[in-house]
């Protein structure tokens, strides 16, 4: 059963300069125990997509579609229900959050707080017991309850942020770039940890990254975003071995595969920048940078369509069988 089900979700910001449709018609679901990765370049709407789940967007933004958390549409929730769902049903490890720990408060105290606020009948003692268990679960010694943030490494702080997000036993955990500031070895450990936690707790997990290679070995499914839309999605290994959308191929080509002499996707980079969502090109948003673009791509709106079992892509060429897996 899907613990998170996003149905035709759109979000538009409304700054003074004009509307910015940052997320457009996204369909994405996460089952209990499943790890889903979302990859795409900076500005493609990844953090905005996460903000829809807990309604953490500005008041002036307009949303459309449905975001079902454990079957309940968050867009229909009253504020007191929404507050309970935050932490309780769905929790977020925010982008860059490892710098947001309170520098003058011990780790234990910071972790105890949400438990005391959100868990009925919790006492200081029961909450601290839970915090120790959580530290153990994220692979940290329990003595760290007495540590201050500056005494921990970046990787250890990120583990604390994960423990913090788990304090109220959410059904779905949303991780926004959980490893970006960390070295590659620690990145791998953190992703391994997240996957283990998702399986152990039968919790759904959505992991956002601009680095597709980071996600490929730790996710069950991957969705690729471009200019606010999901342009391809499918099982991680399948998508990684047979990327269908020209953007996915370009994104993969941007990362070298060390030791893989047979890699079909030699590092090439991708010329140009993604479009500003407030000023999108006509037709397929990717066409100005796409090596496969034809006249049709400049005029026809593309939609995500099935291309193989469990695989979808939004590209008229792929949908016509060119480059399909």
* Residues found near ligand ATP in the complex (CB under 6 A): 13, 15, 20, 22, 40, 42-48, 58, 95, 210, 276-277
To the nearest whole angstrom, how small is the minimum distance from the Cβ of residue 61 to ligand ATP?
Answer: 7
Instruction: Give the 3-state secondary structure of residue 2.
Output: strand
Binding partner of 43, given Mg ion, ligand ATP, none, CB within 5-8 angstroms per partner class: ligand ATP
To the nearest whole angstrom, how small is the minimum distance from the Cβ of residue 325 to ligand ATP?
Answer: 25
Which is closer to ligand ATP, CB of 94 or CB of 307? 94
Binding partner of 191, given ligand ATP, Mg ion, none, CB within 5-8 angstroms per partner class: none
To the nearest whole angstrom, how small is the minimum distance from the Cβ of residue 298 to Mg ion?
Answer: 29
The piece of 7-15, 45-53, 291-299, 303-311 that touches Mg ion (CB under 5 A) is 45-53
Which is closer to ligand ATP, CB of 12 or CB of 167? 12
To the nearest whole angstrom, how small is the minimum distance from the Cβ of residue 136 to ligand ATP?
Answer: 31
Interaction between residue 52 and Mg ion (CB under 5 A): no
Q: What is the DSSP letter of 182?
A: S
To the nearest whole angstrom, how small is the minimum distance from the Cβ of residue 94 to ligand ATP?
Answer: 11
Please report the DSSP string for 248-306 in residue order.
HHHHHHTS--TT-TT-SS------S-PPPTTSPPSSSTTGGG-TT--HHHHHSPP--EE
To the nearest whole angstrom, how small is the minimum distance from the Cβ of residue 273 to ligand ATP?
Answer: 11
Our CA angle for 59, 60, 62, nearest 5°, is 100
Give me the sign of the Cα torsion angle 260, 34, 4, 313: positive
To the nearest whole angstrom, how small is the minimum distance from the Cβ of residue 229 to Mg ion?
Answer: 16
Interaction between residue 47 and Mg ion (CB under 5 A): yes
User: Residues 80 to 139: which contact Mg ion by CB under 5 A?
Assistant: 95
**The residue count for the chain:** 325
Interaction between residue 285 and Mg ion (CB under 5 A): no
Instruction: Give the 3-state secondary structure of residue 134.
Output: helix
Which is closer to Mg ion, CB of 47 or CB of 233? 47
C-alpha distances out from residue 82 to 49, 71, 73, 233, 325, Å: 17, 14, 10, 29, 41
Residues with Cβ within 8 Å of 113's Cβ and at least 6 positions away in sequence, in order, are none
The residue whose Cβ lies closest to Mg ion is 47
C-alpha distances out from residue 75 to 2, 53, 69, 95, Å: 17, 9, 10, 23
Nearest to 73 by CA among 136, 168, 156, 7: 7
Binding partner of 277, given Mg ion, ligand ATP, none, CB within 5-8 angstroms per partner class: ligand ATP
Q: Please, is 292 exposed, middle or buried when counting C-beta atoms within 10 Å of its C-beta (0-12, 13-18, 19+)?
A: middle
The residue ranges that bind Mg ion (CB under 5 A) are: 46-47, 95
């Amino acid at each position: 059963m899907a613990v998170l089900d996003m149905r035709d979700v759109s979000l538009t910001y409304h700054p003074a300069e004009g509307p910015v449709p940052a997320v457009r018609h996204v369909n994405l679901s996460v089952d209990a125990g499943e790890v889903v990765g979302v990859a795409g370049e900076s500005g493609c709407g990844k953090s905005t997509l996460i903000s829809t789940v807990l309604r953490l967007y500005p008041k002036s933004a307009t949303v459309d579609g449905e975001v079902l958390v454990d079957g309940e549409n968050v867009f229909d929730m009253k504020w007191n229900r929404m507050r309970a769902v935050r932490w309780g049903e769905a929790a977020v490890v925010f982008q860059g959050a490892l710098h947001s720990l309170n520098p003058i408060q011990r780790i234990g105290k910071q972790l105890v707080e949400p438990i005391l606020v959100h868990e009925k009948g919790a006492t200081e003692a029961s909450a601290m017991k839970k915090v120790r268990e959580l530290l153990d679960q994220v692979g940290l010694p329990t003595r760290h309850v007495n540590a201050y943030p500056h005494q921990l490494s970046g990787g250890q702080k990120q583990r604390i942020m994960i423990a913090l997000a788990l304090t109220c036993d959410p059904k779905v955990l949303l991780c926004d770039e959980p490893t970006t500031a960390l070295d590659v070895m620690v990145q791998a450990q953190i992703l391994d940890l997240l996957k283990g936690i998702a399986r152990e707790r039968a919790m759904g997990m959505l992991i956002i990254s601009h680095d597709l290679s980071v996600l490929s070995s730790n996710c069950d499914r991957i969705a690729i975003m471009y200019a606010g839309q999901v342009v391809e999605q499918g099982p991680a290994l399948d998508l990684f071995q047979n990327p269908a959308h020209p953007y996915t191929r370009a994104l993969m080509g941007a990362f070298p595969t060390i030791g893989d002499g047979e890699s079909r996707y030699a590092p090439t980079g991708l010329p140009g920048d993604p479009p500003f969502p407030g000023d999108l090109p006509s037709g397929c948003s990717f066409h100005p940078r796409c090596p496969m673009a034809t006249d049709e791509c400049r005029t026809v709106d593309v939609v995500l369509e099935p291309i193989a079992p469990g695989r979808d892509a939004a590209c008229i060429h792929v949908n016509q069988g060119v480059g399909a897996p």
